[in-house]
Structure 1
Amino acid sequence: MTKLPSSVRDYSAVPSENGSPLSSFEFWPGWIFYTPIVIYWILLGLRYRDFSTPTAANPRIETGGLCGESKSGILDMAGTTASRWIAPYTTLFTSTDDTRRAEEAMAHKGLSLPVVVKPDIGCNGTGVKLARTSAELDAALAAFPRGIKLVIQRLIPYRHEAGLFYIRHPDSPHGTLSSLTYKDIPALSGNGRDTVLELLKQDPRTRLLLHIYTPRLQNRLHEVLPEGETIDLVFTGNHCKGAIFRNGAADITPALTARLDEIMQDIPDFHFGRVDVKFDSVDALRAGEKFEIIEINGVGSEATHIWDSRTSLREAYAAQFHHYGETFRIGAKKKKAGWKSSGLWHGVRLWRRQKRLLASYPMND
């Protein structure tokens, strides 16, 4: 059976609108789900006379964070206040003698194992690796092509993860939180009798997603898990990689909103995007305390509560249309203030480059 962290509210007993542990659209092919959103984007582009208007919403970031942006580049913009909330990190270009150079870069930033290794240009957790030992660090670095810029970040000690969606219009003194999503990492709990594969097939949700979980567990599928022993099915908190997303909107508080607003206003001209964090407890998160930022995503990010299995298709599209509408409104205001959008064809070139990079990365942990 899958088990969720005890201090995060467990919604697994609440079925979706169709009575299934998955929503009716949760794992549709991307081209099906996103076609109405693309049409909506085109209509907004015609209205604003610039299909790339949203890229001006965060004008100091490549394409506003729509695609091809540098993860470390965004974090590097953080001022003194924001930096205190970001998990320490360093960067490295893969070449030769990577492990030695990585350890030197880590020492310079006061980092030690365990660390998370991830591509600087990435999407949906692709290529994210956990390195607890020097041997694992060596293997993680060797798994990437040469000449790839990587981010090496301290493993945040908090187990629980959330996505906080932040919006601030340029003419508004304060920003708001439009979405909070808990990212639960499912785990198998052994009974001393069944193999990992049999346990996966017994759970009502994981048996529908074997194609997601089994590749990472290839070497353990026929192992009998001892009673009481658990294994996480995925490390990265990404829905398409197997994490379970839960709508946490009820836990958006004035204290949390004020804290995130304080942080994000210390990143120049950042107006729209999702902040991924790890946190100690729901109570602490509600109070705006005891969390650390993993990364900050721009206009290409989603309000990920739409992937809660209880969200209806109509609610999901309403959220998507609202958020993408906001990117056009904010981008238009920034353009009026003198900033420029990145341009459609420049964005297409970066998207194609990002797609090639993603295909070259190793499987994520």
Structure 2
Amino acid sequence: MTYLPNPSQAHAALSTPSEAAKGKPASPLSSFEFWPGWAFYTPVVLYWILLGIRYGDFSTPTAANPRIETGGLCGESKSGILDMAGSIASRWIAPYVTLTTGTDDTHRALDAMTAKGLSVPVVVKPDIGCNGTGVKLARTEAELSAALAAFPRQIKLVLQRLIPYRHEAGLFYIRHPDSPRGEISSLTYKDIPTLVGNGHATVLDLLKQDPRTSLLLHIYTPRLHARLNEVLAAGETLDLVFAGNHCKGAIFHNGAADITPALVTRVDEIMQDIPDFHFGRIDVKFESVDALKRGENFEIIEINGVGSEATHIWDSRTTLREAYAAQFHHYRETFRIGAKKKKEGWKSSGLWHGVRLWRQQKRLLASYPLND
């Protein structure tokens, strides 16, 4: 079974530096890559508590992006963040409309899309959500209707034009309020794993034959249950996931070596056109690595606030020590930024308000359909 990571059907075409830079042999998974959340994040939570004690407010980071609900820690509106974009930033964001599920959803969605100059294919995703939960690709009007019907009623959705670029990346942006210029602290390439048929093995056989997917059948088989016994023709390909999220099966690679002054300048120009945004991850699709390094030919999928991660830590070659160092650095920065914004007069959201929104978001996530 041939196993090809996308976005380029070859690592080298992506110029991902992790193997060469670290000099480590390829391995299917890192030692901690799929630990239970409580196991990996307990030290992070403890560090957050220590910082909260030091700053006298456990919710200090929520002031880092004060115009966003909880600073983007939880419960924030995806469209609400994108709506804040000025004339410069909006040119880099893939066009979208919103819709609250109810009755006659398909006709209302098509009317809204037509008014914005959109047509299928579109990506349908919940306005409040995380980790790719509920993200659906609608290639046709029939698939759009099915995707809308899969959500509970009175759920606000974002319908976004499908970006034509194959490649995806996450760029982590930090700018202190007293600094005229921001930085990109992390760049992560997101590969979509693809099975390639040989004319006799079933999809399930191919999954079991690969060193990585064989360890993660619980992630891939629920989404592919209708095709597990299908035999792919020789050379036929099957993407294992659509959403570029690590916990949903995408494969992440550290692209730090490809952070260039041109890319930093472009991203800084965009993010400074979003009022009082200082800390978070920008998820983009892009034409090529060379174009991305020049700060060209990419489109923004969404912008995430203080609840987002520097996702290069999920590169299988990242050590646990390196992962925690990155986590601690970023959370320390968001406390520092939040404290500076509070001195400007902005307020943090408060611990219990954040807890209520987190519980509400958790209930919403449980109600969403399986992502594509």
TM normalised by structure 2 equals 0.96
Do residues 285 (structure 1) and 264 (structure 2) align?
Answer: no
Secondary structure of 1:185's aligned partner: strand
**In the aligned structure 2, how far is the partner of 1:123 from the partner of 1:49?**
28
Given that residues 66 and 298 in structure 1 are in contact (C-alpha distance below 8 angstroms), is that contact kept between their aligned partners in structure 2? yes
Q: 1:192 aligns with which of 163, 181, 199?
A: 199
Per-residue displacement from partner, 1:97-147 (whole Å, max 9, x unpaired)? 000000000011110110000000001000000000010000000000000
**In the aligned structure 2, how far is the partner of 1:361 from the partner of 1:157?**
26
Read off the aligned partner of 1:254 and give its amino acid letter. Answer: P
1:201 offset after TM fit, Å? 0.6
Given that residues 16 and 22 in structure 1 are in contact (C-alpha distance below 8 angstroms), is that contact kept between their aligned partners in structure 2? no
Per-residue displacement from partner, 1:247-297 (whole Å, max 9, x unpaired)? 000000000000000000000000000000000000000000000000000
Q: 2:250 aligns with which of 220, 227, 243?
A: 243
Aligned to 1:3: 4
**In the aligned structure 1, how far is the partner of 2:317 from the partner of 2:132?**
23
5+ unaligned residues in a row in structure 1: which ranges?
none
Q: 1:325 aligns with which of 324, 332, 339?
A: 332
Secondary structure of 2:130's aligned partner: coil
Do residues 354 (structure 1) and 355 (structure 2) align?
Answer: no
Write out aligned runs for 1:97-176 (5 A). 97-176=104-183
Given that residues 188 and 252 in structure 2 are in contact (C-alpha distance below 8 angstroms), is that contact kept between their aligned partners in structure 1? yes
Aligned to 1:67: 74
Aligned to 2:54: 47
Aligned to 1:273: 280
Write out aligned runs for 1:87-106 (5 A). 87-106=94-113
Q: 1:230 to 1:13 in 2, by over 3 A?
A: farther
**In the aligned structure 2, how far is the partner of 1:13 from the partner of 1:300?**
28
**Count of paired positions:** 365
Write out aligned runs for 1:202-351 (5 A). 202-351=209-358
**In the aligned structure 2, how far is the partner of 1:334 from the partner of 1:8?**
38
Read off the aligned partner of 2:4 and give its amino acid letter. Answer: K
Given that residues 245 and 304 in structure 1 are in contact (C-alpha distance below 8 angstroms), is that contact kept between their aligned partners in structure 2? yes
**In the aligned structure 2, how far is the partner of 1:12 from the partner of 1:164?**
16
5+ unaligned residues in a row in structure 2: which ranges?
none
1:21 offset after TM fit, Å? 1.0
**In the aligned structure 2, how far is the partner of 1:111 from the partner of 1:16?**
46
Q: 1:214 to 1:12 in 2, by over 3 A?
A: farther
Secondary structure of 1:101's aligned partner: helix
TM normalised by structure 1 equals 0.98
**In the aligned structure 2, how far is the partner of 1:322 from the partner of 1:12?**
20
Read off the aligned partner of 1:2 and give its amino acid letter. Answer: Y
Q: 1:32 aligns with which of 32, 39, 45?
A: 39
**In the aligned structure 1, how far is the partner of 2:344 from the partner of 2:178?**
10
**In the aligned structure 2, how far is the partner of 1:105 from the partner of 1:351?**
30
Q: 1:213 to 1:227 in 2, by over 3 A?
A: same
**In the aligned structure 2, how far is the partner of 1:18 from the partner of 1:43?**
36
**In the aligned structure 1, how far is the partner of 2:18 from the partner of 2:290?**
20
Q: 1:20 aligns with which of 27, 46, 51?
A: 27
Q: 1:186 to 1:45 in 2, by over 3 A?
A: same
Read off the aligned partner of 1:8 and give its amino acid letter. Answer: L
Read off the aligned partner of 2:149 and give its amino acid letter. Answer: A
1:67 offset after TM fit, Å? 0.1
Secondary structure of 2:358's aligned partner: helix
1:8 offset after TM fit, Å? 1.9
**In the aligned structure 1, how far is the partner of 2:91 from the partner of 2:152?**
32
**In the aligned structure 1, how far is the partner of 2:239 from the partner of 2:337?**
40
Per-residue displacement from partner, 1:86-106 (whole Å, max 9, x unpaired)? 000000000000000000000
Read off the aligned partner of 2:52 and give its amino acid letter. Answer: G
**In the aligned structure 2, how far is the partner of 1:75 from the partner of 1:209?**
34
Secondary structure of 2:157's aligned partner: strand
Read off the aligned partner of 1:70 and give its amino acid letter. Answer: S
Read off the aligned partner of 1:27 and give its amino acid letter. Answer: F
Read off the aligned partner of 1:3 and give its amino acid letter. Answer: L
Given that residues 16 and 309 in structure 1 are in contact (C-alpha distance below 8 angstroms), is that contact kept between their aligned partners in structure 2? no
Given that residues 16 and 310 in structure 1 are in contact (C-alpha distance below 8 angstroms), is that contact kept between their aligned partners in structure 2? no
Given that residues 181 and 304 in structure 1 are in contact (C-alpha distance below 8 angstroms), is that contact kept between their aligned partners in structure 2? yes
Report % sequence identity.
81
Q: CA RMSD in A?
A: 1.4
Secondary structure of 2:172's aligned partner: strand
